[in-house]
Amino acid sequence: MRKRGIWLIAMLMVLSLVAAACADEEPETNGGDDPVAEEEVDFKACQVTDTGGVDDRSFNQTAYEGMQRAEEEFGIEIDVLESQSDADFEPNINTFLQADCDLIVTVGFLLGEATATAAEANPDQLFAIVDVDFADEDFNDVTYPNARELTFATDEAAFLAGVLASGMSESGVLGTFGGINIPPVTIFENGFEAGMNYWNAEAGAAVELLGWSSADQDGLFTGDFEDQDKGKQVAQQLLDEGADIIMPVAGPVGLGSAVAVREAGNASMIWVDTDGCESASDICDLLLTSVMKNMDNAVYDTIVAAMNDEFEGGLYVGTLENEGVGLAPYHDFDSVIPDALKETIEEVRAGIIDGSISVGG
């Protein structure tokens, strides 16, 4: 018995050491029931993720960052439920319907049906859905006064990137590829190509794009949003065919492409969704710029609107004008990009905003 007691104490000691090693240095201030005497605002924002989970380095995570920003700034309460399969969407929304959420944020086209159904059945509950524009079966647009559809005209920002890349390319060949051929991916590529075409027309150049054709709506795809090896292979292929600026639209797959781009030496990349210099800082020196889709801003703004009783249902489109989309700063390339080109880009931005330039389809 005594022997066992010693063992028990030894185990407890070891465990406490392990815990000490694993625990964060400083206690977090946002722990659930920590009685932190912050200014309590009576507002609760709740997010249901799709199957990617809240740490997917993609839209679930970006949307959640908008939630966290609101939490930090206003001390609101936030909560998140992850879904293991699409059978979980409905119960997760139901859970939040019972949980006194002031706003329920859902993410992704997979949640479209479930969110629309819930919004219709619960007219007093506010909803916001990222990346979805509600429509009925006959493609008539549908809106609900209590649901805000957060969509993004990414093609506007990608158009700018297309202009920039065309102006910077020395080989006169651009490259792009996607993860899977779905609209949220191809909208980048459409805008990119339109920007290049604009440049060709305006500057009398003949820059080409590899990996995507807006006319065919088809191009180069790796098949998933995970395999970085494929990202490297595909980028190598594009480089071999002469491209010197590559825009991967495939999340972390693009990190693999960075390896090939770095090896090539004289090539660069354009990141998408977030500012790559922040989300993937170790490849910042390769990034001409990033095409940003500011989902976090949209979520944050929606929360602010709801807190101030200014919530409006219906479609929200993030544009260059409202800064829902945009180009990231040039960072390391700031000194490399000619001022004339920078000016052109600002002109195009203004043109898109005032409608004098169309980004295409």
Does position 223 interact with other proteins (CB under 8 A)? The reply is yes
Using CB under 8 A as the binding rule, whether residue 315 contacts other proteins is answered as: no
Query: Applying CB under 8 A, does 74 fall inside the site for other proteins?
Result: no
The C-alpha angle 84, 86, 90, rounded to 5 degrees, equals 100
Question: Interface with other proteins includes 95 (CB under 8 A)?
Answer: yes
Binding positions for other proteins, 266-285, rule CB under 8 A: none
Cβ proximity of 246 and 221 under 8 Å: no
* β-sheet bridge partners, residue 245: 174, 268
Rounded least distance, CB 81 to other proteins, Å: 6
Question: Where in 39-58 is the site for other proteins (CB under 8 A)?
Answer: 51
Asked if residue 216 binds other proteins (CB under 8 A), the reply is no
Give the residue, chosen from 58, 60, 61, 92, that forms a contact with other proteins under the rule CB under 8 A.
Answer: 92
By the rule CB under 8 A, 181 interacts with other proteins: yes
Interacting stretch for other proteins, rule CB under 8 A, among 105-113, 142-150, 193-201, 232-240?
A: 105-113
Cα–Cα distance measured from residue 61 to residue 93, given in angstroms and rounded to the nearest whole number? 18
How many Å is the Cα radius of gyration of the chain? 23
Residue 79 neighbours by CB distance under 10 Å: 16
Please name the residues in contact with 181: beta carbons below 8 A apart, sequence gap of 6 or more.
217, 218, 219, 221
Cβ-based nearer residue to other proteins, 81 or 320: 81
> Using the rule CB under 8 A, which residue among 2, 4, 5, 31 binds other proteins?
31
Does position 182 interact with other proteins (CB under 8 A)? The reply is yes
Question: What is the smallest separation between the CB atom of 177 and other proteins, expressed in angstroms?
Answer: 16
Q: Find the part of the chain contacting other proteins (CB under 8 A) among 86-94, 263-271, 293-301, 315-323.
A: 86-94
Number of neighbouring beta carbons within 10 Å of residue 22: 7
What proportions of the chain, in percent to the nearest 5, are helix, strand and coil? 45, 20, 35
84-91 contacts, C-beta under 8 A, 24 or more apart: 84/51, 85/51, 86/50, 86/51, 86/110, 89/48, 89/50, 89/114, 90/114, 90/117, 90/118
Number of chain residues interacting with other proteins (CB under 8 A) = 43
CB of residue 117 vs other proteins: minimum separation in angstroms? Answer: 10
Shortest Å, Cβ 273 to other proteins: 18
- How far apart are the C-alpha atoms of 176 and 95, rounded to whole Å? 41
Binding site residues, other proteins, CB under 8 A: 12-13, 15-16, 18-20, 22-24, 27-28, 31-32, 51, 79, 81-82, 84-88, 90-92, 95-96, 99, 109-110, 112-113, 135, 137-139, 180-184, 223
